[in-house]
Structure 1
Amino acid sequence: MSNDVTTFECSHCGNLGIGDGEIRCCEETMEVIEDDPISSTPTLSELLKSVLDMSETELELCLCVMEGGSVTVATLAEQTEYDRSLINRHLNHLASIGVVKKQRRLLDSGGEVYIYTPVSPETVRVQLRREFHQWTAMATAQLNALQREKVESIADPDDGEPTWEVFYSE
């Protein structure tokens, strides 16, 4: 798969597409949208925060797991300035989004401990890509709803006067 991803727009219906090759809509090839000089490339941190709801602390802990191999909460508490409960909460979130694996191990002395191991970078890329596409679909739906609410409030205001309060409430 090529790393050169382009944004496309249909000249007939306005649909947008993202891809690394020709995209068709309305039975015609979509047009390439030229790069906007105002747009900036998101950092990895910004992307992970927006798409996977990953905090800076979680990114740091994820990198520790990737560098350290199999680690426990206690090991990470020794390596970082974070307390065990915070690390545990963040590692559980990282496991739930699929960027680390969580495995229970029984101790010879009794009890148990959870071991966190990294997943392959390709697995993380695939997961991030999947989540990004789902996030994009949901964000697009929100934008479409906002546009629809705006048009409806202009066209048919309750008191005869346009109102914009709809945009400030859930």
Structure 2
Amino acid sequence: MTPSADEPRLFECETCGGVGIGDNRPECCGKPMAATETGETAVSEPSLETLLQTVFDMSGTELDVCLCVMEGGELTVTALAEQIGYDRSVVARHLNHLADLGVVEKRRRIRPEGGHVYVYTPQPPEVVRERLRGEFLSWVRLATAQLDDLQREKVEAIADARTDERQWTVFQEQ
């Protein structure tokens, strides 16, 4: 399946095997990366919920919290917990994760009666999209490194084997 002209494409460095995703032809090791054609694939297109769960470790509850903040504007943990019926500690944990991802902004507000409270406001959609895209690309880089390690581990295990057994059993046990 060839991506259309306005979709990001996948590139690979012919020198080091690095992977790049983008609209333009990125460079690596001092030269342009080669575009890879993915063709037919056994991998199905992920839903947004699956993508958020897999890459960003968002549970269904966290997605609920995220959507409520996106719709509700500026909210405190207490107000949001009351609104959606989740425990305050659960809401606070999810809001902190969403703030780390850059989906919501966390600010400390001084209360007129003393003390402070944290308020959470949604980031604009274009900011959320760019931050999630950046985090996704980091995840792809780390996932690619895992695949490279798997290949390296397999070759090393086969090379180090001193028996007449089938070597693929090494990976069945893991």
Q: Normalising by structure 1, what TM-score?
A: 0.81
Paired with 1:88 and 1:24, the residues of 2 have a C-alpha distance of 41
Cα separation, 2, equivalents of 1:131 and 1:86: 23
Identity %: 51
What displacement does 1:56 show?
1.7
Farther-moved stretch of structure 1 (154-163 vs 41-50): 154-163
1:7 aligns to what SS in structure 2? strand
Paired residue type of 2:64: E
Closer, same or farther in 2 for the Cα pair 1:167/1:96, shift >3 Å?
Answer: farther
Matched residues, number:
168
Change (3 A) 1:29 1:73: closer
The equivalent residue for 1:49 is 53
- Are 2:49 and 1:40 aligned? no
How far did residue 116 of structure 1 move? 0.6
Structure 1 unaligned spans of 5+: none
Within a 5 Å distance, the mapping from 1:8-157 to structure 2 comes to: 8=11, 16-22=19-25, 30-157=34-161
Where does the alignment leave 5 or more consecutive residues of structure 2 unmatched?
Answer: none
Superposition CA RMSD, Å: 2.8
The 1:118–1:25 alpha-carbon spacing in structure 2 relative to 1, beyond 3 Å, is closer
Give TM-score, length-normalised by structure 2: 0.79
Q: Which amino acid aligns with 2:34?
A: M
Does the 8 Å CA contact 1:150/1:164 hold for their aligned counterparts? Answer: no
Following TM superposition, the consecutive aligned residue runs of length 4 or more in structure 1 with deviations greater than 6 angstroms are 10-14
